[in-house]
Amino acid sequence: MTVVERNADAALHELFERMCAAWTAGDAAAYGDCFTEDSDYVSYDGTQARGRRAMVDNHQRLFTGVLSGSALVGRVESVRHLRPGVAVLHATGSVLMPWRSSLPRRRLSRQTLIAVEEGGAWRIAALHNGRVRPVTIPGPASVPSRMSRALTAVARALGVGHTLGGG
């Protein structure tokens, strides 16, 4: 890792910490300042805000409403530099409600952030947030797998369903 990348890593960790601190302060403007003007923000439920203004407006409503007094708690898991001035971060985090002293496991989310350097400062150009809910993939002999194959055979025999190919 180069000295430039080490310095950028420190700045990127600081950006993530600043984003969490702004959330915890309930400061939508400071939270929005962590993002580029044309940022894309996908929430854990799949809703999308395009642009800083929309994201700030959404978070202002959250901070004065259902998430009032909450804290954003998280940590950067990894940073990968795609090229100078562009990095992808993976982080985990959760919203800690004011009446809780610890994070419920089911509330853990993983974020993918694309950060860009603008005028010497790092900002988030895109953030995608998804719940951590590991799925156990059923084996081929399992009841769900056998049912899926049987229903697929019935659908094909009846000529219904998609015709996109596949097994």
pLDDT 10s digits, 19-44: 999 999 999 999 999 999 999 999 98
Q: Rounded to two decimals, what is the model's pTM? A: 0.82
Tens of pLDDT, residues 108-165: 999 999 999 999 999 999 999 999 987 888 899 999 899 999 998 898 888 888 777 6
pLDDT in tens, 60-119: 999 999 999 999 999 999 999 999 999 999 999 999 999 998 888 788 999 999 999 999
Looking at the DSSP bridge assignments, the partners of residue 111 are 91, 129
For residue 102, count CB atoms less than 10 angstroms from its CB and return exposed for 0-12, middle for 13-18, buried for 19 or more. exposed
Pairwise CA distance, residues 101 & 111, whole Å: 22
**Domains of the chain with CATH codes:** 3-131 (3.10.450.50), 137-167 (no CATH)
